[in-house]
């Protein structure tokens, strides 16, 4: 009799598990929120690096975002076609300025090739480069920085170009999709937020199983009566 009483005292009831689930769910939500905020900060850093025109820093910031998202449980809620969708990941990020820099460089190179033979002013691209290159060395510009591109385009605008030249230039630009990123996050990760989410899901599953067992027994008793 004493042994049976001890076993009854040690038995955890379903309502006790439900009470435990409430603070556990709150802790899990808080940890997931912290990871989400950190992910947003990393995305902001990527956009800032892209806006600055520093391709090397943009790649570094993008890699930091990728490593964090792919090793942490990051939950996002996004509006798609009027519906809010919950998913695990960073959400789409587009390197607009990086694409513009690459596209501008490709266009300039194509214009140089066409302009060498077709422009009555000679190779205006070489002339523009002869003006901007010393400034680039003086101010530390890279070939794809906004200041260098602005200088280059400003010098080119001093020379009229014929419509025939523009018509002959054919440029194959890269697809914008190559500059869109959307990193996927694991549902369960070995981080405080990931482990807390796992415990919460397991506890909720135990409660649900217990409830169905209780419901099945109740229905069986009603049928036997």
Tokens for 123? Answer: 């190779």
**Which domain, by its residues, includes 81?**
2-92+182-224
User: 125 and 74 in one domain?
Assistant: no
User: 88 and 20 in one domain?
Assistant: yes
Distances (CA, A) of 22 to 19, 208, 225: 6, 14, 37
User: 28 and 7 in one domain?
Assistant: yes
What pLDDT sits at residue 181?
92
User: CB–CB of 84/134 below 8 Å?
Assistant: no
Closest residue by Cα to residue 193 from 37, 32, 74: 32
Question: Rounded distance, CA 32 to CA 192, Å?
Answer: 9
User: 57 and 9 in one domain?
Assistant: yes
User: 85 and 111 in one domain?
Assistant: no
User: 141 and 88 in one domain?
Assistant: no
User: 204 and 122 in one domain?
Assistant: no
User: 22 and 82 in one domain?
Assistant: yes
Tokens for 56? Answer: 């090397």
User: 58 and 168 in one domain?
Assistant: no
Tokens for 96? Answer: 């607009």
User: 194 and 174 in one domain?
Assistant: no
User: 71 and 24 in one domain?
Assistant: yes
User: 171 and 193 in one domain?
Assistant: no
Q: What total number of domains does the chain contain? A: 2
DSSP three-state, residue 180:
strand
- Say what the pTM is: 0.67
Q: What is the secondary structure of 51-110 as a DSSP string?
A: HHT-HHHHHHHHHHHHHHHHHS--EEEEEETTEEEEEEB---EE-HHHHHHHHHHHHHHH
Question: Rounded distance, CA 45 to CA 21, Å?
Answer: 36
pLDDT along the chain (225 residues), means of 10: 51 85 94 94 93 88 95 85 83 87 77 56 70 81 75 78 49 80 92 94 93 84 70
């Amino acid at each position: 009799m004493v042994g049976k009483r001890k076993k009854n005292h040690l038995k955890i009831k379903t309502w006790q598990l439900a009470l435990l689930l409430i603070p556990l769910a709150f802790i899990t939500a808080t940890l997931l929120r912290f990871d989400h905020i950190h992910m947003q900060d990393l995305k902001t850093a990527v956009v800032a690096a892209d806006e600055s025109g520093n391709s090397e820093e943009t790649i570094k910031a993008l890699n930091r975002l990728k490593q964090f998202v792919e090793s942490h449980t990051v939950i996002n809620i996004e509006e798609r076609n009027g519906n809010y969708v919950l998913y695990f990941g960073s959400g789409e990020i587009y390197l607009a300025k990086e694409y513009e820099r690459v596209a501008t460089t490709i266009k300039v190179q194509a214009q140089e090739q066409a302009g060498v033979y077709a422009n009555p002013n000679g190779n205006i691209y070489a002339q523009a480069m002869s003006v901007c290159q010393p400034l680039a060395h003086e101010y530390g510009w890279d070939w794809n920085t906004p200041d260098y591109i602005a200088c280059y385009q400003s010098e080119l605008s001093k020379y009229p170009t014929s419509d025939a030249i523009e018509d002959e230039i054919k440029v194959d630009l890269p697809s914008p999709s190559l500059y869109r990123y959307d990193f996927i996050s694991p549902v369960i990760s070995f981080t405080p937020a990931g482990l807390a989410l796992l415990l919460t899901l397991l506890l909720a599953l135990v409660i649900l199983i217990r409830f169905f067992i209780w419901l099945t027994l109740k229905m069986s008793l009603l049928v036997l009566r």
